[in-house]
Structure 1
Amino acid sequence: MYFPVAFQVLFLAQLAALGWGANLRILSKADIEVRPVLQLAQLPTAHRNDDRPDDGLHQNVFRLARVLAAVTAAGWLLSALASSPAMRTWLTLLTYIVLVSIVVLPQRILYHTVRMQFLGSLVRIVVPSMVKPVFLSDIIMADILTSCARTFADIRLVACQFVSLAWPSEVSTCTDTGMVGALLVAMPYAFRLRQCVNEYLNAAPASAEAKRHFANAVKYASSFPVICLSAMHRRAEIEASSGVKQSGWILRPAFGLWVLAVAFNSLYSYYWDVAFDWNLGHTRSGWKLADFVVPPASASSAPSSLPRAADEMSELAVSRELVTPGDALARDIYEPTTKRSFPRLLRPQLRFARTWLYYAAMAIDFLLRITWTMKLSSYIRIDQMAFGGFWLNVLEVYRRWQWTFLRIEKETAL
């Protein structure tokens, strides 16, 4: 079957885009207004919505995804029917050029607002800043990029194919010794780490908010030892295949350190998903999983995504002076946790009625968190299986898809 890495990358990107549209669609059906949660109106590039304003955000995302998918499918089909490898590479390059041109097109056509929001988010993620605000939409986008970490290394292989068209003699320079691939895999984690450091520096010193951002930064920093040790092993394998003798006393401890790094990163990341990103793990006595990092005595009383002025509003809301009788959500937010009855290990406020979805999400997230380390590592040669790496990427796209649901739902249930 003709399904090279170049089109695997495009397919995964299309799948992630369609998944984002599905997120928005299902959240809309659940009466969750996504635009204020994502702070879209506060973005520096915010402007009027000229993408069929009467339609929902998810409809414009779906329409743009369909256009890009049609171009990808046409390019893949033409490449599969090409008679020579060189022609296939040219058609693949043309497909990439058309797709990139559509996304960056400055004219107010082809769902301009959605495209500009996407590009603006990428720019804010990539360009370092320690003073500018970090929007929830950028946080979610950066987290999605971490799920595509190995795809960044695959894009390098695609670029090497394109380089071979113009400079065939330079193909040898594209041989991956493990280090370049490791840097590309680490890039999304570095972007997200920078956001955490940014939020930490802008939080009040020694506050619960600062502690939370610092602990979150530790989570992303813990991915670097996994990536570096995997790259070290990959380089040793390449040198061994070239006849260079390797010292076992170096590789054996490196493998042990890799196991420890993987265990810490995977379990800590899973804990963070459940305790902080989803705000689950509450008990009826008032204790919750997040108390391991932010003790209840110092926990902030207002959600981090709200402006500081919301703290004063919440105090007034508790006294019921500013909460109207019809404002059921506000009453739920400030009802004391100890007086509420809720499903075990979840939380008092749930926007989805089917509680088994939360339990299933926790179980699936744990399994896929562990499985994803197979793709990050060169110790486990999953790529030797037929499309093994591709299917692991698909599973990670699904994991991030379900994570996004509860990440946004949590913000509206606080």
Structure 2
Amino acid sequence: MGNIELFFCLYAQGWNNPVQCNSSHSRLLGFFTTLPSVWRGLQCLRRYRDSKNAFPHLANFAKYTCGILYYMTLSLYRIHKYTKYQALFITFAFVNAIYTSVWDIAMDWSLCNPYAKNRFLREILAFRKAWIYYVAMVLDVIIRFNWIFYAIFASDMQHSAVLSFFVSLSEVCRRGMWTIFRVENEHCTNVHLFRASRDIPLPYPIPSELPPSSAEVPSSMQGVQLQERPTTAAAAAESTSIDVEHGLQPGTRPSIRQRHISLVDGINRIGNIVTIAHAQDFVRKKKPDPLSGNEMRHQESHTPDTSEDEDEGDSGPADEAAILEELPSPRALDEDRYARH
């Protein structure tokens, strides 16, 4: 985007004064470099308006806001060359590098799970070699901090052609690496959510085991009245009463290990939320409430969609609900089976 301003400025000046077109003299060049972050930030706000999910859309908007401040302070630092602008640039550049690095690894790649089978990765991996992910994580963080060259070589604000080439090349390589692992993460998520499988889930649950028949019940128990069984069950539950929430006997306190396990479960819960958050990028409407799923799906199906750029690969809760509605009900399957016989 910055090269657009540079191109037209050089030809407008007739190549007579190219210095006036560089970043130390052009505010328009600094503005153009912020446009990609501005557009992506507005897209995040649009996603939040459609889905009403504050996370991850508003958090993603905050990330692009840091990018806007980073390029803005860099432009001011190059034009005015004041120490205060240099301090602002280093501050926002550091915050932007940390924010984007964490977002790349934890959100876009769904890594950094300390309790995964491969430590600090995730449970489902597409590549067989785990070291590839560790190398990618380190390289992404290092290249995200390539702004340090702008602060180190403060005397040469425009830098040399060799330095600019290698900084730009490193960013191109990082974006290519990011794309590979982002698509890999999306594929693993689709497999985990059965979006990349040929098998269609049945619209009704299948019991794992059948209840015992009357023939399997001992003869000594066949004469027991039904009214007596709840009493016996209640007595058994009374004799072995436990704390349902913590799995403890009454009057006891949870041990340190059990509290540690509950803390691990809480961390895993947060990790799972972060892991599947990237799958909400293409959800345009609010997710249905699991307590009243049918009613929510019915309301969503009648909600007008004002978006004009409908994605072909858009798949969300509404699409899954439509698939389930098209499948026959268990009663219809039984009637059809009876009609065939």
Give the alignment's TM-score, normalised by structure 2: 0.50
Higher helix share: 1
Which of the pair has more CA radius of gyration? 2
